[in-house]
Chains A and B, each alone.
Chain A
């Protein structure tokens, strides 16, 4: 059997197997289903809330809460970007 034929057969066989039983269940996966450390998250949120709320209105802060949750330490550059964007939205309104 040539190398090419071998590869062709391998590919076909794999494709058939995936067709029959090839779904990955992301939602039900419990491999890394570790519950969040709620107290730590809460403390972090409160710290950040107190620190940043002075810059925004409550609505704007809620909108940008996402930005700060994903980043441990918002750099000045990011803070500037966020403030510029809020300024732009305010002017638009």
Chain B
């Protein structure tokens, strides 16, 4: 299994959701984000060597028999066409607040579809009503693609702050489990789809 989380714009939820999924899948996590603190924030969540950083000048050779979640983006990385062609699925997250988020997402879907047919759009950290409207529009525009919604929630921020995924918070039980149930279902639906690859 190889999955790429990619967007050309920062702040769209790539790292949050790629880290979370890599934990769920207990696999290698490879990022090209070598400067914004991804490694220092999240390295304690992984065992030794599970989290790897690829710098812009590094060539990229992908081992064939390992499960890997790639977290690339924030800029146009020219290695992405190679990686996206080799991955089983490409996740394009979008955190919609304005056209400034929507346009890069649509440009990316248009461009990446040349390299990979299995593109998933993940609408996240977006106002609830707007997320559903956006999902409807994107589903109509791209009928062959899957579109998932994960609602905005303060529990998702606990990944960076406390190193806890939504699944782990849910499994804690108690009031948190009750509060987080709808969110957990959204994560589950998304993960169940990706787990097929």
- A interface residue numbers (CB < 8 A to B): 4, 7-8, 10-11, 13-15, 17-18, 22-24, 26-29, 31-37, 41, 64-67, 69-75, 77-78, 81, 85
Whether A29 contacts B78 in the complex (CB less than 8 A), given A34-B56, A71-B49, A71-B52, comes out as yes
Closest to A63 in B: B64
- B interface residue numbers (CB < 8 A to A): 8, 30, 48-49, 52, 54, 56-66, 75-78, 80-81, 99, 102-103, 106-108, 110-111, 130, 133-134, 137, 141
Contacts of A74 in B (CB 8 A): 49
Contact residue among B48, B63, B107 (Cβ-Cβ distance under 8 Å from A66): B63
Contact B78 A85 (CB under 8 A): no
Contact A31 B52 (CB under 8 A): no
Contact B48 A75 (CB under 8 A): yes
Expressed in whole angstroms, the Cα–Cα distance for A4 and B63 within the complex equals 47
Whether A70 contacts B99 in the complex (CB less than 8 A), given A7-B130, A15-B106, A23-B110, comes out as no
Contact residue among A11, A13, A23, A67 (Cβ-Cβ distance under 8 Å from B63): A67
Sample of 10 further A-B pairs with CB below 8 A, known A27-B78, A31-B76, A66-B64: A14-B99, A18-B106, A22-B110, A23-B107, A26-B77, A29-B78, A32-B75, A33-B78, A34-B56, A69-B59
Contacts of A17 in B (CB 8 A): 103
Contacts of B108 in A (CB 8 A): 24
Q: How far does the Cβ of B83 sit from chain A's closest Cβ, in whole Å?
A: 10
Whether A26 contacts B59 in the complex (CB less than 8 A), given A14-B99, A31-B75, comes out as no
Contact B52 A26 (CB under 8 A): no
Closest to A30 in B: B78
